[in-house]
Structure 1
């Protein structure tokens, strides 16, 4: 059984997949400060949309009326995430807000902490691709509201962040984004990614699971 499991996992790792994701799920964050280990892992439920921008720009050097060399200049990694609702407790932790006597406040001297984050892209076959962002800082969202009309409409909340390179165990150079993929029912790579990004296990990590059909 153990050898069969290894063969199935190896086959899944080597097989190319051309399926497009159909959803997002499992948004986690943890305050890492200037280190590589999160104080605790928090989840914000009901993630609706998320965009990770990782710009690169080719830079050319010229000579003899032609291109002599090309190098790649990497831009800042930015994240825009939309949620059904971001609880005030998470805003306090992500943005450095202060609550006194039941009143939560923000100001020009807010000091958001460095955080790491992970979210999952889901696929129709039950597999998941996890995206890990080792070190970044969220900025406060806009406050919006709409009047209630003839029909009920739910509001959403959007928040943005900037991420930077950070030392990640096992990699020679610092990294700003990591990716892991698991088959349906398998959490092996997810758990490994949590350890590299947060330095602590996934909240539900336990005995390794087997892929369905093994």
Structure 2
């Protein structure tokens, strides 16, 4: 029997605080977003080919960035403060201006055998979503916000993602994966 992805859950975001060769990389404590509906990660990779003797003698690839699209059940004002750097007035009104921070984005993929795969995308910025709502009719229609972002390699170590799978030998971090952005063991 094969192992197949059957679900998605546990969207988390952590604001990146530092990212450089001197001070290393640090993040705020991850915050859980609304329930996950969908996530796609589309890497952009450059490929080079070296021709010689009337054929290709070598090839190489380089990761540039990844486009990330996520849909959740809702996008709260608190989520917008975290994701888009907006501010909330003391009167509870969300202001439109903000300085979009770099964040890490994590989630969990579930499989038909009961195991899970855990992801952290390490450095990216999300763009404000388009907003579309419909009037209520004879049936109930839920609107689900979608946001897009671009993730790049970190300055500190040039990593752009970490993926842990419960089927991998030695992987034991699943229970604490979202407590903090994953830090690899040497």
TM-score range, shorter chain: 0.7 to 0.9
What residue number does 1:137 align with? 125
**What do residues 5-34 of structure 1 show as CA deviations (whole Å, max 9, x unaligned)?**
xxxxxxxxxxxx941111101111111132
**What do residues 186-207 of structure 1 show as CA deviations (whole Å, max 9, x unaligned)?**
x8232575578356xxxxxxxx
**What do residues 77-97 of structure 1 show as CA deviations (whole Å, max 9, x unaligned)?**
121000010111011111011
* 1:158-177 → structure 2 map (5 Å cutoff): 158-166=146-154, 173-177=157-161
Pick one of 64, 73, 80 that aligns with 1:84: 73
Tell me, which stretches of 5 or more residues in structure 2 are unaligned? 20-24
Structure 1 consecutive aligned stretches of length 4 or more whose deviation exceeds 6 Å: none
Bigger Rg, structure 1 or 2? 1
Tell me, which stretches of 5 or more residues in structure 1 are unaligned? 1-16, 200-214
Kept after mapping to 1: 8 A contact 2:30/2:179: no
Question: Residues of 2 paired with 1:195 and 1:147: CA distance?
Answer: 39
The Cα shift of 1:68 comes to: 3.2
What residue number does 1:179 align with? 163
The Cα shift of 1:72 comes to: 1.0
TM-score (norm 1): 0.72
Kept after mapping to 2: 8 A contact 1:34/1:114: no
Question: Residues of 2 paired with 1:149 and 1:162: CA distance?
Answer: 36
Could you say which structure has the higher strand fraction?
A: 2
Q: Which has the higher contact order (CA 8 A, sep 6+)?
A: 2
The Cα shift of 1:61 comes to: 2.2
TM-score (norm 2): 0.82
